[in-house]
Every structure is written in structure tokens, then in C-alpha cells.
């Protein structure tokens, strides 16, 4: 629950590398991302194309067991607002994050995940650009911040599948414009910790087995063949 004053979120159980927040009881433009690699107070809004913004009263520091928050409305508004916080840490084989500078020409970026990434989310930090998502098909891309279905475009991933050490970006502005800065979040499946996959809807109820003994803590779903 928001305090309207400086606050610290603890009890995470590890030093987080990525902090994602959402407002549960008040409107906002989107789920907000901040991470240790880009530095505290550097915010990205997953609901918009906005470039990285300096928000002094958002996450003010990343700590050994959570994060410290300022008084920004999207992170810690008054006590009438409720928030949900998700924390991730870099973990080989599951989650990795890199920052890179675009060149304008297709090239590879080393990622350190040590396995082939199944989902890659890329955001231009320097300019207003849509969030680009690789979801297992090197010829297509999805957009995180719109309702668009998957689209075929070789300028995103250069029609080149990622490997256990690198992924490829093409010439699209929102993944690789010359001299502009980017951040990429990479995910892969690991039994009992993270599951990435697909299923077909049936207009009824169905159970999607992710292999977790106690259920999932975070679920992200996107239709890829329809808006």
C-alpha cells in the first residue's frame, strides 16, 4: 500500500536486478520498469512508446532485499492506492538483461543467458519507439505496448535465430538505430522456475500446465495471431 512518503519494500529474499510495478486501485498508463543495470530513477513505461525518463521519486535505490521508493504517484502514492511489485534477478538459464548501443546495421549482441532465449523484449531508451518482442520466431515480432498481432519483418531479428551466446538485431529503428541506446530483457524456460510456451484458445476453460508444484507467481499472456 502506498504511503505518500519515502518507503522501502523488503522481504524479497534476494537483491533484485529488475523491479516492475503496477497500480491496482488507480489509473495509470502502464506497468513501469526500473532496473539496476540502467540505474535507479530511470523509468520505462510498458504501456507507451516513451523513451526512458528520469523520475527522481520512483525507485531511489536497489537494495540487498528489495528497493527503496520515493513519492512518485506510479510507484508509491498516498495510502488510498494499492500497488503490485514484481522482482527479478539475473539468473543464468532463466533471466538476463543487457544494455547496448545501436549501430544501424544488423549485428549480434552477446547476452550471457548461457541458453537460447525464448523471449526477448527490447526497448529504445533514447527515443519514443514501440517495445519489440521476440517470441521464438526469428521472422516475426510482437509489440508489447499495443494490441497488434505478430507481424513478419526481417528488420527486427534479421531472420536469424538467437543462440546460447548471442541474439541478432536488424535495422528497425526500435531495435537498432545508430548511436541510440537500448535495453533487452531475455527469458528462457527452466523446470520449476520459468516456463515459456504457447497454446491454442478454445472459447472455454482449460488448464495450461507450466510444471510448477505451487502455481505461477507471474503470468504474461499475449495473443499472437489476432489483435
Per-10-residue mean pLDDT, the chain, length 227: 90 97 79 96 95 96 97 84 93 98 98 98 98 97 96 98 98 98 98 95 94 90 95
Greatest C-alpha distance within the chain: 49
Strand partners, 156: none
Closest listed residue to residue 45, CA positions, set 118, 128, 119? 128
Task: Compute how many other C-beta atoms are within 10 angstroms of the C-beta atom of residue 44.
Answer: 22
Q: How far is CA 27 from the centre of its chain?
A: 20
**Cβ pair 127, 49 in contact under 8 A:** no
Q: Which helix (H) or strand (E) holds 185?
A: strand 181-187
Model confidence, pTM = 0.96
* pLDDT given at position 215: 86
DSSP label at 75?
Answer: H
Closest listed residue to residue 196, CA positions, set 138, 119, 88? 119
Closest listed residue to residue 94, CA positions, set 115, 122, 64? 115
Owner of C-alpha cell 534476494 = 14
Amino acid at each position: 500500500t502506498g504511503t505518500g512518503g519515502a518507503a522501502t519494500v523488503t522481504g524479497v529474499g534476494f537483491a533484485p536486478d529488475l523491479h516492475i510495478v503496477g497500480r491496482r486501485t488507480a489509473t495509470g498508463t502502464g506497468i513501469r520498469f526500473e532496473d539496476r543495470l540502467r540505474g535507479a530513477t530511470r523509468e520505462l513505461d510498458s504501456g507507451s512508446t516513451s523513451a526512458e525518463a528520469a523520475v527522481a521519486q520512483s525507485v531511489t535505490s536497489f537494495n540487498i532485499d528489495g528497493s527503496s521508493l520515493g513519492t512518485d504517484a506510479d510507484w508509491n502514492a498516498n495510502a488510498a492506492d494499492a500497488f503490485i511489485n514484481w522482482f527479478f534477478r539475473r539468473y543464468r538459464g532463466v533471466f538476463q538483461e543487457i544494455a547496448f548501443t545501436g549501430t544501424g546495421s544488423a549485428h549480434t549482441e552477446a547476452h550471457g543467458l548461457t541458453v537460447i532465449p525464448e523471449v526477448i523484449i527490447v526497448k529504445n531508451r533514447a527515443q519514443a519507439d514501440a517495445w519489440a518482442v521476440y517470441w521464438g520466431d526469428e521472422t516475426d515480432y510482437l509489440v508489447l505496448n499495443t494490441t497488434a498481432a505478430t507481424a513478419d519483418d526481417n528488420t527486427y531479428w534479421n531472420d536469424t535465430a538467437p543462440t546460447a551466446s548471442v541474439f541478432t538485431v536488424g535495422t528497425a529503428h526500435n531495435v537498432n538505430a545508430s548511436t541510440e541506446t537500448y535495453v533487452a530483457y531475455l527469458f528462457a524456460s527452466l523446470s520449476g522456475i520459468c516456463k515459456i510456451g504457447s497454446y491454442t484458445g478454445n472459447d472455454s476453460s482449460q488448464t495450461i500446465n507450466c510444471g510448477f508444484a505451487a502455481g505461477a507467481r507471474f503470468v504474461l499472456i499475449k495473443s499472437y495471431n489476432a489483435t
